[in-house]
Amino acid sequence: KTAQFYFVRGAYIATIHRATEVLEKYPNSPSVQPAMKLLIQSYAALHLKTLAQDMQKVYTLNYGHLPQE
């Protein structure tokens, strides 16, 4: 929820920090999928194309499809 709060406000670096924290500290939680989606969107918003593409690959490997908008 905190990462989403930052994302909506355009604080993409803060979003990346919070979403990464979810992946590292709570790898088996239901919050992982939304955190990965926020990472993809934040990287794209910051024009970090390679990081966004890498996260899309990881997302697809884990969930079998790209995230829905």
What digits encode the pLDDT tens for the residues 26-52? Answer: 999 999 999 999 999 999 999 999 999
Please give, one letter per residue, the 3-state secondary structure of 33-49.
HHHHHHHHHHHHHCCCH
Is residue 64's pLDDT more than 80?
A: yes
- Alpha carbons 51 and 10: distance in angstroms, whole number: 18
pTM for the predicted model, two decimal places? 0.90
Local confidence band at 4 (pLDDT 50, 70, 90 cut-offs): very high
